[in-house]
Amino acid sequence: MVLLVIGLPLVSLVVALVAAAAPDSQVCDVDSTATCKITATPSQFQPALLNASKWIWTGENPIPGGSNIISTRPFRKNITAPCGKCSVCATIVVASDDAHTFYVNGVRIGTGAGFRQGQALFVALQPTWNLFAIAGQNLVANSPAGIMASILVHFSDGTSETFVTDESWKTLRAAPPENFQLPSTNDSNWPSAAVQGAYQNSVWGPPVLPPVLPLRGSNWIWTSDNVNGAAPVGSRAFRKTVNQCTKVAVCATVLIAADDRYTLYVNGATVGSGSSYTVADAYTIPNLHPTFNTFAINATNGGGPAGVIATILITYSDGSNETVVTDASWKAIQTIPQGFQPPLIDEFGWESAKIIGAFGVAPWGAGMVIPSA
């Protein structure tokens, strides 16, 4: 059978039919496809702010913020990249009353609980279409229930866009059906989520943003000439190569501080510089090599105590993450060799970094200011 629509050009007809069949797909004027070439470069970390997000639940209690029964409820949101753009990674901040399990494209990426402080999650994305799903739990009878989240999507061209929990999310007034978190699940007949309150105006109050990454678990490191808490004036080089052949690395988040100054490099490219041991810096790395990545630091001591400390979170395409901290597995040298920043250099003559102390050790203490996620 041939379908004819009078007055409608063939191309427009095809696009209209495709859009009707897959309303959440990336459909442009003339079937355009993003190239997904990553032109984004490392940049200062951008937080996923919650100020535009809304608390949502199912609406079983029509009063916003009202009491709900003990239950687990499903929530879903399909996010499509703008035409011509490719999604790379996302930073997510989520809070819940009482608990949540978060999925992206069917993969569980984190669990958490509490409405007073959000939880930070990091995940790699598909280029054009991604499904975000949450199993929200109300664990106390006759109490308010809600989920709040902000999703900051980074695109391959260096731009970004924030998506929030609101009435555009889908939900059910029932327990999550089997495989509710999978993209293949049809939610076209699910009702819209019910708004329970805004960030600044709800029974919960505004959640505090979590730190982008923890430094607890990381160590202050230097070269072996740092003795009795003092090191010679001058610069030192540090390197750490992460070779993960069973996964595909996509992006990374780095938290770093130094006494007294540092410049950070990834795979030979300059990421950023800083000069404080009381305020840490955070960076987003959107363009990792799939399997082999080298993080290098040029750190300078102006006199007295010397150290550099960092936490690196590598995000893989399978939804997993790997945390790398500064410790004795880093390589160090008491000079700044020419061309020390790229991968695959000869590290002959380099030593294992010396651990000066864990995060919180004197003279730096544990009061460092860490950027919010």
For residue range 229-270, what is the model confidence (pLDDT) as tens digits? 999 999 999 999 999 999 999 999 999 999 999 999 999 999
Predicted pLDDT of residue 35: 62
Instruction: For the domain covering 219-358, report its CATH number.
Output: 2.60.120.260
Q: Does 43-198 match 219-358 in CATH topology? A: yes
Distance between CA 324 and CA 238 in Å, rounded? Answer: 14
Q: Is 267 annotated as a binding residue?
A: no
CATH architecture of the region 43-198 = Sandwich (2.60)
- Sequence-distant (6+) residues with CB within 8 A of 337 are 237
DSSP string, 100-121: EEEEETTEEEEEEEEEEEEEEE
How far is C-alpha 148 from the geometric centre of its chain's CA atoms? Answer: 16
Compute CA distances 278 → 24, 45, 344, 362, whole Å: 45, 18, 33, 12
**Could you tell me where the beta strands, DSSP code E, fall in 165-303?**
170-171, 194-198, 219-222, 234-243, 249-259, 261-266, 269-274, 281-285, 292-301
Predicted TM-score of the model (pTM): 0.90
Which pLDDT band, with edges at 50, 70 and 90, does 73 fall under?
A: very high
Q: Are 274 and 368 in contact (CB under 8 A)?
A: no
Q: Is 138 annotated as a binding residue?
A: yes
Distance between CA 172 and CA 227 in Å, rounded? Answer: 62
Phi then psi dihedrals of residue 32, to 5 deg: -80, 150
For residue range 177-193, what is the model confidence (pLDDT) as tens digits? 999 999 999 999 999 99
- Sequence-distant (6+) residues with CB within 8 A of 289 are 249, 267, 343
Q: Is 260 annotated as a binding residue?
A: yes
For the chain, domain boundaries? 43-198, 219-358
Q: Is 259 annotated as a binding residue?
A: yes
**What is the residue type of 359?**
F
User: Which tokens sit at 285?
Assistant: 């790395």
Q: Is 346 annotated as a binding residue?
A: no
Q: In the predicted model, is pLDDT for residue 25 greater than 70?
A: no
For residue range 124-152, what is the model confidence (pLDDT) as tens digits? 999 999 999 999 999 999 999 999 999 99
Number of Cβ atoms within 10 Å of the Cβ of 241: 17
Q: In the predicted model, is pLDDT for residue 94 greater than 80?
A: yes
Predicted pLDDT of residue 36: 84
